[in-house]
Structure 1
Amino acid sequence: MLHVLLHMAEMEGAVTSEALAGIMQTNPVVIRRTLAGLREQGLVTSVKGHGGGWRLCCDLAAVTLHDIYVALGEPVVFAMGNRTESPGCLVEKAVNAHMNDAFQQAEAVLMARLRDVTLADLSRDFHQGLQRRDHSHCSS
């Protein structure tokens, strides 16, 4: 979704779900469902009719990656987990306890980092990379 939002930031006017789906190589329905959640948080808006589509309606510098994470419904961060939540095996209980602790610590670090990075930071990094790429094609 960050990829979609940064593309939207670069586009003039509203952009259709179909155009965004083409960029992301996915189905427009996936784009619409996801953007609908972001619309509820006031990050994007939709415009109906001819020339309609989706538009950013937020200040990139004011929106953190954590804001996006929350707007997306706070999906599970780590796909790994315990094989059994309440195992009878003492070995598995010990492993679970340490893994749960490690996952909680890792998630806390990740959430702190997401709070520090804004969409403007990502956009700036994109533009810096674009400038470097453009300059690398210049003849000496």
Structure 2
Amino acid sequence: MKRDSRLSSVLHALLHMAEQASPMTSEALGLCLRTNPVVVRRTMGLLRDAGLVAAERGHAGGWRITADLRKVSLRELHDALGEPALFAIGNRNEHPECLVEQAVNAALDTAFADAEALLLERFAAVSLADLAEDFARRHAAHKGARQ
């Protein structure tokens, strides 16, 4: 079963971008993410459309963050990516007239809705700045452990 890892990839890219003083090219981001630059451009285009990043053309061009990291939540990024499905499991709908299937689906629908609401609420509570601070702490600890 294929998982949609775009949110994770976008967060990874944005944290790299936040550490850079200059824009990052799609090629450089592709190396960070171990993916094709075309995939980077397509995904960053969604973030550009949401007003979170901008592309600069030319020799020193590339992608840069235009949004305030403190104001961008994981929920906003999830929405910018087109609200991909949060769960890979779903209901069986082969015989909608079946009363057993109806009962099962009603129970699962409630559980899925509750779980999705909780996850989206958590996404809304975590900002890019929170992730950048966590990364900075981990990076400092890692550097300290190597010395």
TM-score range, shorter chain: over 0.9
Deviations 1:92-114 (A, max 9, x none): 22111111111100000011111
Contact 2:95 2:101 in 1 (8 A): no
32 and 89 in structure 1: CA distance in 2 versus 1, 3 angstrom threshold: same
Higher deviation after alignment, 78-87 or 20-29: 78-87
Paired AA for residue 24 in structure 2: V
CA distance, structure 2, for counterparts of residue 50 and residue 125 of structure 1: 32
What is aligned with 1:14? 23
Identity of aligned residues (%): 51
For residues 70 and 134 of structure 2, what CA distance do their matches in structure 1 show? Answer: 13
1:28-67 per-residue CA deviation (whole Å, 9 max, x = no partner) reads 1111011111111111000011111101111111111111
Structure 1 pair 85–102 and aligned structure 2 pair: CA distance change class (3 A): farther
Partner of 2:6: none
- In structure 2, do the counterparts of structure 1 residues 34 and 85 end up closer, same or farther at CA, with 3 Å as the change threshold? farther
Amino acid at match of 2:114: Q
In the other structure, the counterpart of 1:44 is 53
What letter is aligned with 2:15? L
Residue matched to 1:33: 42
The reply to whether residue 24 of structure 1 matches residue 33 of structure 2 is: yes
Q: Which moved more, 1:101-110 or 1:79-88?
A: 79-88
Partner residue of 1:59 out of 62, 68, 72: 68
Distance 1:86 1:77 in 2: 25
The alignment's C-alpha RMSD in Å is 1.3
The answer to whether the aligner puts 1:131 opposite 2:140 as a matched pair is: yes
Indicate the SS of the match to 2:84: coil
Q: 1:67 to 1:85 in 2, by over 3 A?
A: farther
TM-score, length of structure 2 as denominator length: 0.89
In the alignment, what sits opposite 2:103? 94
Where structure 2 has 5 or more consecutive residues not aligned to the other structure, the ranges are 1-9
TM-score by length of 1: 0.93
